[in-house]
Structure 1
Amino acid sequence: MSPPLPWLEDECTPLPAPTKALGIDSHAPGLLAAGGQLTLRRLCEAYRNGVFPWFSQGQPVLWWSPDPRMVLPATEFRLHRSLRKTLQRFIAAPDCEVRIDTAFSDVLNACANSPREGQDGTWIVPDMQRAYTAWHGAGCVHSFETWIDGELAGGLYGVALGRMFFGESMFSRRTDASKIALAALVCFCRVQGIRLIDCQQNTSHLASLGAHEMPRAEFLRHVANTVDAEPVRDWTYHETMWTQLGLRPTLRGARA
């Protein structure tokens, strides 16, 4: 029988230690606590301790710390031949570019409204959207955007603390548009010394791109060693960053 789930009354109630999360044999592996509000203070506390919120409309805020944790090491991104060709065509096209933080609200809304296989509804509920929009305004949440023919074709968003990036969600309106954004994130992370991208949950899609599970204890050690590092100051995607994947930029200059 699982122990009672801790309830967070307010910000004065600290999150339990991640090791207190429900185990693999429970009804909700990784569930740590419930309740509280999505304030910037609470969100900062959570992510710095390897905890994230995930809940549906009508539920209290649910806080999670799964074991193992799905992660994508920036050096282990798997660039399949078909994706390499897609990226090379994208880079060469004059009407294609990657931007950072130029349409954050659009990316967030698209992620919230994109249908997911096996999911009914979205976990990016209005409270989550408001909280992460505020956190974006504070400079800790960023969007990587794939633009084709002047339109937002896909993208992703995530949380950046120190030299750690916590991926949240992605979407595509055109084939491989989210993969292009993820490839750009990987290049950016390599340039900026961000070694690990948190993917939270295990999916076959992420596994096909090089993500794998990591024991929670190892993940927490990595987070503790990186969240207090000097934060990234320049959130601009430059064409030259594509060379991190062995791709040749068109030398048309930097893009913002």
Structure 2
Amino acid sequence: MAMAGGIDVVNRMKDGLAPPALVLLGGVADIDAIRLSPQRDAIEVGAGARHDAVANSDVLLAWLPDLARCWERIANIRIRMQGTVAGNLLALMSGYEGAVLLSALGASMVYSTRDSRGDMIAVRKFGEAADSFFERGGLVEKLRVPLPMAGTTRRLLYDRSLRPILTVALRIDCAGGAVVSACAVIGGCHRWPFACDLPVAGVALSELHAQADGTARSAVRQMPEPTVPWFGVANYRETVASVLLSRLIREVAA
């Protein structure tokens, strides 16, 4: 079993996991590097980058500042200094937040297996492919986070006030006072976050505020029935998710 930060591996070993061998990845060159891609169209985040490094990366603060600001709110200081980006994804924990933010940004995982090198899968689709990934001996090399097109402004907003039962992220790209594309992601309700592209392309920002409630309700209605147990009021998470998403849309519009 490969191990970088080791937080989830060690916790699972305490619960009985007994891998025949552990391979520490700390010595792999550039496994924690965060840099602009050679094509200058994406930020490449090394699989072993710690959460604190992501939040304080000069590269991210220059190119995707909202991601850095959202990431600095993840976990406590002990976990931020030890836990890694890839580990956060591979743990498949419904309350973890990396997949929520990276899915909203259209990020992809670059990985290798026993039989191939440099494969790529969208983070938002990893949940349904995770079992196959582990069976093939997958090892994540880096995360590729695409940058917005030239002339486009990207906003990423995040509400984690009800974590771990519910988190909501919103990414909106705008140009010329109108929406180019938008994506909402809801975490905490399933093993992997639910992502939904919002049908607001071409809508003027000045009109987005008035459409916020309807857009949010329509997006949440597409979410599959939650699979993570909830012992509160029925449909509470779905109702609140719509409210939180509407607030985020209104914040962008303002």
TM-score norm. by structure 1 comes to 0.28
Relative contact order higher in (CA < 8 Å, ≥ 6 apart): 1
TM-score norm. by structure 2 comes to 0.28
